[in-house]
Every structure is written in C-alpha cells, then in structure tokens.
Structure 1
Amino acid sequence: MRTLIRLTVTAAASLLLTMSGTTPGNAAPAGVTAHCTGSGCAGKSPASTGCDHHARTVRRSTEIGPLMELRYSSTCRAAWVRITHARGGDRIEARNKGGACRRKSCYAATVAPGRSSAYTAMVNDKGIKAWGCLHRRNGNVSCTEAY
C-alpha cells in the first residue's frame, strides 16, 4: 500500500510540474550568465551562449501555418528566429539590417528533412532593430515586424 501511495504522489507531482511548464528540462538554471553581448553574439548559438535563458518572444508570424517567432534576450542584447510546425526545406532568417543577407547582419537556418523546427544564429539587437523572415518551400515569404 505504501508503494502505491508513493507512486501515485510521484505521478501527480510530475503531472503538475509538466502542466505548469516548470519541468527540470524547461527551467533556466539560476545564475546562468551569458557569454556574449550585442555584436559579440552575431553568428553564435543562443543555446550554447546561454542567451536562450530568460529570452522572450517579441514578435510572431501572422500567417497561417508554421509558427515563426523572433526571440530576444535583453541580457545578450541579441535576437534570433525560431520556427515550429514547419516542413523540411522551409528556411528562416534573422536580420538586423536592410538589403542583402550579409555576414553579421543575417543568419539563416533550414528545417532539416523529417524535422519540424529550427532556429537561427543570433544577430546584434543592441541599439538597432531586428526581424525574422520565413521562406516557404512553395516560394511564399513572410516576415515579422521589426523589434
């Protein structure tokens, strides 16, 4: 009986944590420090630099289909694009300057075959605006508002 109660309590606690979004895999570790700031983050991964901790979505796509999000880290002063519910071959870009996609002003990622999500490297968002674009396999392009 004691084992059954322990299993029930453990299962209930796990369910509550999962529903609240605070599972150990989702929680940002306390005291995480970022490894870059502003232009020093350009081209780097938000996950490997710690910039993804405490980041927030500041813009979303308004198109029906894949969810494209412009993510921003106030600690790193950098932005990147994340896409979910996409198809292999869809391409996303994080931009912070007009014109052609150039190094340090634009980073792209393509959703791999069999996958449905991806994210770009970061662009500097310190004192300048950034935005994201989605290039669908069918040729359609949609972009977020700048932030």
Structure 2
Amino acid sequence: MSPLLRKLATGASACALAASGLLMASSPASAATSCLGSTCTGKDPSTTTCQNDARTVKTASWGVELRYSPSCRAAWARKTSGASFDTDIKVANSQGASYSAYYGGNGTVFTRMVNDLDITAQACERREFGYSCTDWY
C-alpha cells in the first residue's frame, strides 16, 4: 500500500471512529426499565417506563390516588401535597400483595407497584382516626 493510500485509510478510520463516538454520545441512554404485571411487583414506578402512561384511576376522599399504567398492567398509591396530616398510604391487589409509604404532609409520595394484570388493586390512606380507601380497580 502506498504511503498516500495508508494516510487516507488511517484518516478515514479516524473519522469513522470519531463519528460513531459522537453518534453514541448523542443518543441518551434511558435508565428506566420496563416490566409487565407480576414482574412489576415491588418496583419503584419512577425507575420504570410505567410512569410514562400512568393515570389516576381512583381517588379516595382524603386524597390518596390509585395510579395505573396500562402498558405495565401495574398499580401504585400516590399522595401529593396539600394534606395537613401525617399519614401512611398503601396499595394492595386482590391477590394480597401490598406496599406502604409514609407521607409527612408535603411533597409527593408513592408506594412501590403491585401487579394489576387481570386482577384488581386499591389504594388506602391511614390516619390516627381511620382509613380512607379508593374503590377497587
């Protein structure tokens, strides 16, 4: 190979390598994972793709929400600011899986997820003087 061709080949390789590095750096890597039904049980919804299509499907009288992701077929409880009471929130499904979280009266708190694939789920809030729960969904 002639010195001129060698330099051109080396230069072309360097350009290709640099371009591939720029291409890789420009596509953001998602830290979110996906799950479905029972594989979502116990996972944090904020670290999954489940949060992307989640919607509030039920709300109890004290404000605890039952959140549901159609793509993941999973549910969790969420409480947002505005309450003046410390409270515990809980999500449970009809197969007995449940997760709780403490809400201190400000910000947003949510539980881990439970399977909601072909079963139902409910969110509850407990205060010193009783419970307030959503309907089953």
The normalised TM-score by structure 2 is 0.69
Partner AA of 1:106 in structure 2: S
Q: What runs of 5+ residues in structure 2 fail to find an aligned partner?
A: 1-31
> Deviation per CA, 1:46-79, whole angstroms, max 9, x where unpaired?
1101211111111111x2xx42110100100000
The equivalent residue for 1:89 is 86
The equivalent residue for 1:111 is 103
Distance 1:43 1:124 in 2: 9
> Deviation per CA, 1:70-106, whole angstroms, max 9, x where unpaired?
01001000000111223463100000036xxx6xx00
Distance 1:72 1:60 in 2: 12
**1:86·1:111 contact (CA, 8 Å) conserved in 2?**
no
Task: Confirm whether residue 67 of structure 1 aligns to residue 63 of structure 2.
Answer: yes
Q: What SS class does the counterpart of residue 64 from structure 2 fall into?
A: strand
Aligned length: 107
The equivalent residue for 2:124 is 133
More helix per residue: 2
Note the 1:1-147 alignment, pairs <5 A.
35-61=34-60, 63=61, 66-84=62-80, 85-87=82-84, 89-97=86-94, 105-112=97-104, 115-136=106-127, 138-147=128-137
**CA RMSD across the alignment:** 2.3
Q: What SS class does the counterpart of residue 81 from structure 1 fall into?
A: strand
Percent of counterpart pairs with the same letter?
A: 42
Distance 2:77 2:123 in 1: 6
**1:96·1:124 contact (CA, 8 Å) conserved in 2?**
yes
Q: What runs of 5+ residues in structure 1 fail to find an aligned partner?
A: 1-32
Distance 1:87 1:39, change over 3 A: farther
The normalised TM-score by structure 1 is 0.65
Distance 1:132 1:70 in 2: 5
Larger radius of gyration: 2
The equivalent residue for 1:23 is none
